[in-house]
Structures are given as C-alpha cells and as structure tokens.
Amino acid sequence: MTTTHTTQLILASASPRRRELLQQIELQFHVHVVEIDETPRLNEKPGDYVLRMAESKASAAYKNLREEHKKFGRLVVLSADTSVICDELILGKPFDKEAARKQLRMLSGRVHQVLTSVAVLAADEDQLTPFVQTLVSQSSVEFAQLTSEGIEKYLQTDEPYDKAGSYAVQGMAAQFIKHISGSYSGIMGLPLFETAQLLAAANIQTL
C-alpha cells in the first residue's frame, strides 16, 4: 500500500505512458486531466519551459480539486512535461504529418536532448498554500541516419502524432535509436527515480 485513506494521489496528465510508469511501481492514483496553454514564451529556455509546464499543470489540477480534497485530508498532485530539444529548439507534439516528417528529418543521424520535468504539489486540508517541489531530468538520445522510406513508413503508423519529437522510445522508433544516456523512463515521459524521490518528500513511499 503506497497511500493511506487520508491521502489522495492525483496524476495531472492524459498520457497513457505516465499511467503505465506509475503502475509499474505499484502506485495507487487517480487521473485528472487539465488543459493549459502550452505555447513557449518568447526566448524561453527549454529547461524553464518544461518546468513551467509541469508546475502549471499541477496548479491547475489543484485549483480544480481543492474543494474535493478536504474529504481526503491531504491531496498530492503529480504532473510532468516532456520536450525534445534539438538545436535549442523545443520539438513538441507534431500538429500534422508534415510537422512530424520535419522533426524526424531534423533528428536523423544526430544526438538530441530530452527534458522531462516533474512537479509534485502537496496540500493538507488546512493548508492555504500548497507545497510544490520540482526537478528536471535530462537525457541524450542518438538517432541513426534515417532513410526517407523508413520515415514515411513510420509516419503511416499512429505512433508519432501524440509524442514530443514525433517518436516513442518504447515503440517502433526504438529501431532508430543508437544510444541513450540518461533516464529511459524520463524519455518515455516520467523519470521514475526522480519521481519517487519527490513523492517520498511528500510522504508517499513506493517501496
């Protein structure tokens, strides 16, 4: 048992991969999806951007649930944001096939970075200002040189279109990847080592 009856853990994300990763470490949680403006600010650095996104998602979920959490006594909200960075550009989810094609061509034969931020917000029933902790996991991914045929075959699948950078490390795109340095789960969307540390600080233990 990882939570008590007086604590509710909320995942503020629609990502099925983040749900799977939390289930992997046997956490009990509920999902509360929030919609926020994910447009990067002018000259915003990638690390600042992913942190702002995770914090904003956690805060939005808490705002929606703060009245409900009184019956639990304590509310803990977990959120995350993942961005693929190449040439200092933030590669988000592609909005169409041409955008996905452009991103994959950019990543072909190169090393890029994957930044995943995690935010954990905790609030007791009588706590007016919730306590928030954040961190960023950075990993490097090296792609092989992709052929035009390989890119087009990949674009015919459903995989690229809801993923930052237009690929899924745990899916068919694994055959594109020559080397990874960092957190595999972080590249998937939720770095489990760092997430467990933040949750432990909020008195939610995984082991």
Q: What is the pLDDT of residues 136-183, one digit of tens each?
A: 999 999 999 999 999 999 999 999 999 999 999 999 999 999 999 999
CATH number for the domain spanning 50: value is 3.90.950.10
Number of helices (H) and strands (E) in the chain: give both, helices first.
6, 7
Domain annotation covers residue 55: yes
Domain annotation covers residue 1: no
Question: Mean pLDDT throughout 1-18?
Answer: 78
Among candidates 92, 142, 90, which has minimal Cα distance to 112?
Answer: 142
pLDDT at 13 over 90: yes
CB atoms within 10 A of CB 126: 7
Domain annotation covers residue 12: yes
Domain annotation covers residue 207: no
Residues paired with residue 138 on neighbouring β-strands, in sequence order = 115
Which of 91-97's residues contact partners 24+ apart within 8 Å by CB, and which partners?
91/164, 91/165, 91/166, 92/38, 92/164, 93/161, 93/162, 93/163, 93/164, 93/166, 94/160, 94/161, 94/166, 97/155
CB 78 within 8 A of CB 11: yes
In this prediction, residue 66 carries a pLDDT of: 80
CB 12 within 8 A of CB 32: yes
CB 115 within 8 A of CB 99: no
Which residue's structure tokens are 């009588």? 126
Domain annotation covers residue 130: yes
CB 134 within 8 A of CB 116: no
Residue 153, domain extent: 7-201
What positions carry a catalytic annotation? Answer: 81
Domain annotation covers residue 2: no
In this prediction, residue 1 carries a pLDDT of: 38
Query: What are the tens digits of pLDDT across the range 82-118?
Result: 999 999 999 999 999 999 999 999 999 999 999 999 9
Domain annotation covers residue 206: no
- Residue 140 has phi, psi (to 5 degrees) of -115, 140
DSSP letter for each residue of 113-160: EEEEEEEEEEEETT-SS-EEEEEEEEEEEEEPPPPHHHHHHHHTSSGG
In this prediction, residue 70 carries a pLDDT of: 63
Instruction: State how many domains the chain has.
Output: 1
Radius of gyration of the chain (CA): 18
% the chain with pLDDT above 90: 82
Domain annotation covers residue 105: yes
Burial of 106-116, coded b for 16+ CB within 10 Å and e otherwise, reads bbbeeebbbbb
